[in-house]
Amino acid sequence: MVGLVVVSHSPALAEAAVALALEMVHGEPPPVAIAAGIEGAAFGTDAAAVAQAIEQIDDGTGVVVLMDLGSAVLSSELALELIEPDLRSRVHLTAAPLVEGLVAAVVSAAAGEPANVVVDEAASGLLGKETQLGIEPVAPDRETPGAGERAVITITPLHGLHARPAARLVAEAQRFDATVQIRNITTGSASAPATSLSRVAAVGARQGHEIELIAAGRQATAALEAIQALAERNFDEHAVISPQAQASPGTPLPAAPGIAVGPKWTINRGDVELPEAPESIDPELERHSLQSAVAATRQEIARARTRLLRNGDEKGAAIFAAHLLMLEDDEIDHEVQAGIADGDSAAAAWHRALRRVQNEWAGLDDPYMRARTADVRAVCNQVLRHLLGTERTIASQAGILVAPDLTPSEIAQLEANLVSGVATAYGAPTSHSAILARSLGIPAVVAAGRELLDVPDGTELVIDGSDGTLLIAPSPETTRSYRVKAEKYAAAVAAAQAHAHEPAVTTDGTVIEVGANVTAAGDTAAVAAGGADSLALLRTEFFFIDRTHPPSVTEQERQYRRIAEAAGGRRLTIRTLDLGGDKPVDYLPIPEEGNPFLGLRGVRLGLLHPHLLREQLTAIVRVARDHPIAVMFPMVTSVGELEALRDELEAVSRAERCRPDQLEMGIMVEVPAVAANAAVFTSRVDFVSIGTNDLAQYALAVERGNPNVAHLGDGLDPGMLRLIASVASAAGDHTRVAVCGELASDLVAIPLLVGLGVHELDVTRFALPRVKDEIRRWARSDAAELAAAAMALDSAAAVRALVAARSAS
């Protein structure tokens, strides 16, 4: 079978193009090799790598090489000089377009066509696109219908005979000893050979078009029947659900409790101010700075785009794809390079070039393109921030902040006493941004849909972060009613706050410890003053991210000690590093994973990099010698891991002369198997903390942060309650059981958790008074009866309805 080599400046581009092309093949695909990028550089091609790929892929049948542009062609030509003459004679370089040509070549090669036919098919790759756009292609004369058997099919795929269904048709036609032609009856097109992907695409068959098939030869009848059967199967395309039947992506989800009423405002991402031009410019240094800034911006955008793609938001990801293309625009690059050569700084040259593009687009008649000037500005400012070393700051305004999504750093900049609420088009209630909004006491809803972004600034909005309500331009009567609700909510919070320093004791005398999560020393002091019984969860990964290298032992010890001192004698639980999943860091490379939430994260990563784990434990143990500290390990899956962690902790404790009674050891219960087999784990630790965010993600098969399935991830699912009950039952009175995660702050969940037998609830700072107040309303015996009834129900919605009914009675 003919082999294919893809030569590209970008490994990501080459891999994506190959993946797309191989989607078109049913059965055995042809061998494909990639020679893309240069080690240590952002983009480029290497002749030696091309030669190696050719040698690797050749089986004596022939090799076809497809290239993207520029040096890819030069490298491929040079590669021919590096290989043996005999092999060189079997290699064909083609000027075919990379993506379209590769798709056609893969289909043709998979059918067993010789190299010259594969080259011709690749070269005709643009025919379908040219026909669709009304461009007269330069192509072989179109054939007219010949004699033979005939059949008519109707095109059913939503987007017609696009690449994938066309490839299916071609594959079917190639299976038979028959000559099959295809003609679009609806448009009156000329006929084309059904064995040529590019020619099939060129007939311009859209959904609903009638297509005539003409077949001649020994297996003509069989060929027509096979293609008809393919058409009846919708060309093996997934069925398209009508828009009316699809789940609405614009259903707001509650993210942070509270009611907010106020005008919409958006982040002012104004232009970055340029400093005065320096007296002298080093062009080479400016070019290097620009290259670094563009590379850093490309990485940021690529990460944002990847997150959206993982969440199933292809439209949102397309916005960032356009931003990436702007960074690769040759015209812009040439203009910037010319500006630097003329004596401009990189920042000035970049700003001038992007401002020109922005002005040109703003003057276009097309309103869609005029609206894209915001994208130009965003890319311009993003690169300028890297060039100038400036941070993006948010000036808080009164009202409700609306954004596509917000990063944790952006949420952290908001002034909680000024910003009344947050509403995002995307995101999920379990995202770190939502968690931070809850910790700041800012009401929030998420996943409200793209249409929210089109609402004019200043429009009156109402949100209820407790139930997901979002109202746009409500009537004056509705606005007044929600203002009254907001006042009542604030009064209830104030009443609970007045008793926050008192213990949380059920009406029948059971004390439930209520701890609060912390991130820094200042936060700790406020939490301690707010009535927290303990400092329940210090997420240490926030000390490790947004850095070029990990913090040293001394730096970590200083951070942990400041927080422990601010705790005022309360126990501080320090969770070891929980990187991986949705929290990557540049200095700790993690292999590309199909599902990072199931990959290297938590202690799995720590045990793989024992020096990082040991350094962190050293810092923690040093603080534990004179402060009450509990160390907690995340994402434990097996007893073997637990024993390895215990051995490491004991070794560090001996080296640092810390007594065993000075430090508690516990694990997070996030893996369903650990919860189901809790007895073997609870007997080996001082405490366990049930991480309901991740436990729900794994138990309910709902990815955190994915707005398309977020509504399925309710922690009050009866199955989740049974897992919590299993842990509490196994722990008994000998091991402390805490619950952290968003469920611990959910007022509906409080009586259920108390009834299931947990000893501690770890909540956000602003939820603490209300959680304590809710605990005091219940007798543990009543709560246990309620929990038993809840576990017998069939859905989280039914559980919530049950609690609401009991609470009202």
Positions annotated as catalytic residues are 432, 740
Determine the Cα–Cα distance for residues 214 and 191; give it in Å rounded to an integer: 9
Tell how strand 63-67 and strand 760-763 pair up: unpaired
For residues 690 and 727, the answer to whether their CB atoms sit within 8 Å is yes
Residue 719's contacts (CB-CB under 8 Å, 6 or more residues apart) are 699, 700
CB atoms within 10 A of CB 626: 12
Residue that the structure tokens 């993006």 belong to: 392
Determine the Cα–Cα distance for residues 742 and 736; give it in Å rounded to an integer: 19
- Find residue 33's DSSP bridge partners: 5
Determine the Cα–Cα distance for residues 265 and 789; give it in Å rounded to an integer: 45
What are the tokens at 786? 């309620």
Nearest CA to 448 among 260, 248, 705, 256?
A: 248
Tell me, letter by letter, the H, E, C secondary structure of 405-458: CCCHHHHHCCCCCCEEEEEECCCCCCCHHHHHHHHHCCCEEECCCHHHHHCCCC
| Strand stretches in 587-674, DSSP E | 629-633, 663-669
Which amino acid is located at 778 in the chain? W
Question: What is the DSSP-derived secondary structure letter of residue 146?
Answer: -
Give the H/E segment covering residue 689.
strand 687-691
Backbone angles phi, psi at 531, to 5 degrees: 105, 15
For residues 421 and 703, the answer to whether their CB atoms sit within 8 Å is no
Tell how strand 534-539 and strand 572-575 pair up: parallel
Nearest CA to 403 among 455, 468, 367?
A: 455
Determine the Cα–Cα distance for residues 286 and 347; give it in Å rounded to an integer: 8
For residues 250 and 188, the answer to whether their CB atoms sit within 8 Å is no
For residues 101 and 123, the answer to whether their CB atoms sit within 8 Å is yes
What are the tokens at 19? 């993946």
* CB contact burial 310-341 (16+ within 10 A = b; e otherwise): bbebeebbebbeebeebbeeeebeebbbebbe
CB-neighbour burial class of residue 81 (10 A; exposed 0-12, middle 13-18, buried 19+): exposed
Which amino acid is located at 326 in the chain? M
Tell how strand 760-763 and strand 511-518 pair up: parallel
Residue that the structure tokens 């210090």 belong to: 538
For residues 450 and 237, the answer to whether their CB atoms sit within 8 Å is no
- Find residue 669's DSSP bridge partners: 690
Nearest CA to 178 among 147, 209, 139, 144?
A: 147
For residues 769 and 493, the answer to whether their CB atoms sit within 8 Å is yes
Determine the Cα–Cα distance for residues 94 and 79; give it in Å rounded to an integer: 14
CA atoms within 13 A on the CB side of 605: 24
Determine the Cα–Cα distance for residues 559 and 263; give it in Å rounded to an integer: 39
